[in-house]
Structure 1
Amino acid sequence: MSSAESTTDRVSRADRLAPAEVAEVLALARLAGDADGADPFDEHTLLRLRDPDAPAGHLTARATDGTLTGYAHLDTTDPASGIGVELVVHPGFRRRGTGRALARGVLAAASGPLRAWAHGDHPSAAALAVDLGFARSRVLWQFRRSLTAAPGQPRLPDGVVLRAFRPGEDDAAWLTLNARAFAEHPEQGRWTADDLRVRLTEPWFDPAGFLLAVEESTGRLRGFHWTKVHERPGSARIGEVYVVGVDPDAHGGGLGRALTTAGLAYLRDRRGLDRVMLYVDESNTAAVALYERLGFAPWCGHVNYRLG
């Protein structure tokens, strides 16, 4: 008899996880990501998992032998706009109601609207969302392209030069630019000094790959391309167009394309990568069109479901 047939899950809720439990959840996420081809948690959730002071709810499902069979994360930072939910089930314990039990636990623990991500748009996640009354509200595409061929030379507007981000010196100016560039974005435009600080201390952070477009005469920031490199044991390295932003006053001058091209060249020529990915909202048709012109194509979709 398989483990999936011989055990019954027990779901429990906690406001904090012990370090050993966090390690279990991260190991489960890696296992599920390898099985599904899409990681079950976004960067925001992973950072919050490692922060013991982050306001969150944690639901764990365990088999009778103590094996962690599933986990749900509740981001309670801003309940008024919706509690964020991300959920994962162990690949060896699926099709036995674990996901549904966790989802019902989320509904019982949360009040107000819910925002749940289904990374990879897995069919079982879509079916569960429909059954529980969630509505599909947003699609985030992961695009990819090869870096085997050189991406070309960036054509910067007159009077604009590129330089690397300087931690501690550029923080405030970059946060102001980021807020302007993403004023309508539900997550990126809300970044605080703490959000930036946490990422600047991540092992993957590389200031040389955080490119700033600067007015040569005034020093004013006009745009940026923050690159990232994903390195995980057993997986091929891949670059990411982490964030590209342009000051609204500089729109229409080709700066976004130039910054994207410069970042791709950095990932290829300086970091030795042969492939790159990025995330873009399906509704951002201008950005989708730009990335397609630069050789990107859809790889997989991540769907946000809302309830309430």
Structure 2
Amino acid sequence: MSSAEPTTDRVARADRLAPAEVAEALALARLAGDADGADPFDEHTLLRLRDPEAPAVHLTARATDGTLTGYAHVDTSDPAAGVGAELAVHPAYRRRGTGRALARGVLAAASGPVRAWAHGDHPSAAALAVDLGFTRARVLWQLRRSLAAALPAPRLPDGVVLRAFRPGADDEAWLALNTRAFAAHPEQGRWAPADLRARLAEPWFDPAGFLLAVEEASGRLLGFHWTKVHERPGSARIGEVYVLGVDPAAHGGGLGRALTTAGLAHLRDARGLDRVMLYVDESNTSAVALYERIGFARWCGHVNYQLG
């Protein structure tokens, strides 16, 4: 989002985009991310943008020559909870009110509360949020760590072993564990089978990097560390602690730390990476402390603004 002078760009609303329009929006997002140092859309929005059946409102801003100058995605899948929104403005067309026009379009499309992410906590996004009456509700930190530094050896609790995720065989048990581990999380704890299937079908998915902690005697899943590798033309490869979860019944035994270090070792030794990132809620002080103890440091913040 960006606050600026009134725009002359045309803003249009659609319930579905043509494949060429999706490609335009994705290209615009890459340009904005390269300029800002933080991608404007999270994975959830990107998956929905590429899914023609996902319920959403798409707002596009175009210059008089037809150039796509801005795009906003409005997630309308849960009307009772309000809508989620993210937007991006082409770096060459900023400071002309396009972000403000898209944000007003988001508000016009919403019939209830609105949740909007500002990735990178850009000052112009904060200024626009204040102007439109949004409040700062949640902060997600991106932490990073070098993998060149020494890693502590994973120390699993007695009777617990690690193995790779088996697509199709572990889906149901993993979803149940994920729900228990993230019962209080506003997004992760609500994953359905379709959410898992969408990510298993992504080009980056590697079952060898999806580590499960299993009770050896019973086969029960106790925790997991799902890693991810980001590979983007023109950018250095970086690993991610994509999702890390432990069954509440297994808390306190050091399993979270062991899973973390095992996943980092996989990214370094099996994937040849020299750096890794992760996302963690600012309010999750115990997780932030765990990651900082094993060498992670704050890189940037992502802010969720809410209205209504």
TM-score, shorter chain, exceeding 0.5: yes
Query: What residue is the counterpart of 2:165 in the other structure?
Result: 165
Name the amino acid aligned to 2:26.
Answer: L
Query: What residue is the counterpart of 1:21 in the other structure?
Result: 21
Any stretches of 5+ residues in structure 1 without a counterpart?
none
- Pairing of 1:241-260 with structure 2 (within 5 A): 241-260=241-260
Q: CA RMSD in A?
A: 1.1
Query: What residue is the counterpart of 2:305 in the other structure?
Result: 305
Classify the secondary structure of the residue corresponding to 2:80.
coil
Query: What residue is the counterpart of 2:30 in the other structure?
Result: 30
CA contact (8 A) 2:82 2:110 kept: no
Question: 1 CA distance for matches of 2:98 and 2:158?
Answer: 58
- Pairing of 1:87-102 with structure 2 (within 5 A): 87-102=87-102
Name the amino acid aligned to 1:276.
Answer: V
Classify the secondary structure of the residue corresponding to 1:80.
helix
CA displacement at 1:152 relative to structure 2: 2.1
CA displacement at 1:150 relative to structure 2: 3.3
Name the amino acid aligned to 1:162.
Answer: L
Further displaced range: 149-158 or 26-35: 149-158
Query: What residue is the counterpart of 1:175 in the other structure?
Result: 175
CA contact (8 A) 1:75 1:83 kept: yes
Name the amino acid aligned to 2:191.
Answer: W
- Pairing of 1:1-308 with structure 2 (within 5 A): 8-308=8-308
CA displacement at 1:106 relative to structure 2: 1.1
Classify the secondary structure of the residue corresponding to 1:35.
helix
Name the amino acid aligned to 1:59.
Answer: L
Question: 2 CA distance for matches of 1:187 and 1:98?
Answer: 29
Give the 4+ runs in structure 1 shifted more than 4 A. none
| Cα deviations by residue, 1:239-274 (Å, 9 ceiling, x for unpaired) | 000000000000000000000000000000000000
Question: 2 CA distance for matches of 1:135 and 1:28?
Answer: 27
Question: 2 CA distance for matches of 1:205 and 1:292?
Answer: 27
Name the amino acid aligned to 1:286.
Answer: S
Q: TM-score, normalised by structure 1?
A: 0.97
Q: TM-score, normalised by structure 2?
A: 0.97
Instruction: Figure out how many residues of one structure are paired with residues of the other and give that number.
Output: 304
Question: 1 CA distance for matches of 2:110 and 2:289?
Answer: 38
CA displacement at 1:25 relative to structure 2: 0.2
CA contact (8 A) 1:150 1:265 kept: no
Classify the secondary structure of the residue corresponding to 1:253.
coil
CA contact (8 A) 2:204 2:228 kept: yes
Question: 2 CA distance for matches of 1:50 and 1:150?
Answer: 39
Classify the secondary structure of the residue corresponding to 1:152.
coil
Classify the secondary structure of the residue corresponding to 2:58.
strand
CA displacement at 1:225 relative to structure 2: 0.1
Question: 2 CA distance for matches of 1:190 and 1:72?
Answer: 24
